[in-house]
Amino acid sequence: MIQLIGIQVAAGVLGDLATSLATIFHVECRVRPDRLDVAIARDRLRNQFYSTAILQLMQPLAREDMRLLAVTSLDLYVPVLTFVFGEAQLQGACALVSTHRLREEFYGLPPRADLLRERLLKEAVHELGHTFGLRHCDDWECVMTSSHAVERLDVKGAGFCSGCWQHVAQALLPPPCPSSIGLRHNERQPV
Ligand SMILES: [Zn+2]
Ligand SMILES: [Zn+2]
């Protein structure tokens, strides 16, 4: 299951994203009502929020059998980079994406809700892909290709290439249920 949590973001944005993510990953996607206080992750000098610190704040809300994706309007950074669109725990439970630099207004252009929705979806699928253990993909159309600018984000698709999807589908398979393991074990017992 995928759960979404908003950090200073409109509820409508989360609802749309949840529907699209459920279609792409073929799993249930719910919006959590919780609020997360991330004031501690703010760097006063940069006037940005440290994404790794936000992931740590999300950790207590996460469970092993789900993915928790936070969506925020705050501008994110990691110390070595000017900004990040998002960050994820590789093969972990938590991921985070920001709409801040996905908006056309950020680049001095008129707002475009459709384009923002599309960019947010790609970024969300990409970061969730990392939580399923995927690294960056060489296929420029695959959502797992790295994109450090909106221009790059706009040319790639919102879906996985077949190789990446195979990996995700495998990770989404439910673990074998304990009763069936027990049964197989019993079968090996001498009669
Ligand atoms: Zn990435
Ligand atoms: Zn790929």
List pLDDT tens digits, range 172-188. Answer: 887 666 655 555 554 45
**Sign of the CA dihedral with 32 first, then 12, 69, and 81 last:** negative
Segments forming the whole domain that contains residue 83: 2-187
Low-confidence ranges of the chain (pLDDT < 50): 186-187, 189, 191
Whether residue 3 contacts residue 32, with contact meaning beta carbons closer than 8 Å, is answered with yes
3-class SS of residue 167: helix
Q: Which of 1, 90, 95, 82 is nearest to 56 (CA)?
A: 95
Q: What is the Å distance from ligand 1's center to 144 Cα?
A: 6
Number of domain units in the chain: 1
Amino acid at 158: A
* Annotated catalytic residue, options 87, 123, 127, 187: 127
Q: What is the Å distance from ligand 2's center to 140 Cα?
A: 8
Q: What is the pLDDT of residue 191?
A: 47
Cα–Cα–Cα angle for 44, 14, 133, rounded to 5 degrees: 80
Q: What is the Å distance from ligand 2's center to 147 Cα?
A: 13
pTM score, whole prediction:
0.90
d(CA 20, CA 118): 10
d(CA 143, CA 159): 5
Q: What is the pLDDT of residue 172?
A: 87
Which residue in the block uniquely carries the two structure tokens 């017992």?
Answer: 189
Find the CATH number of the domain harbouring 170: 3.40.390.10
Which residue in the block uniquely carries the two structure tokens 């090996």?
Answer: 188
d(CA 94, CA 187): 39
Q: What is the pLDDT of residue 70?
A: 98
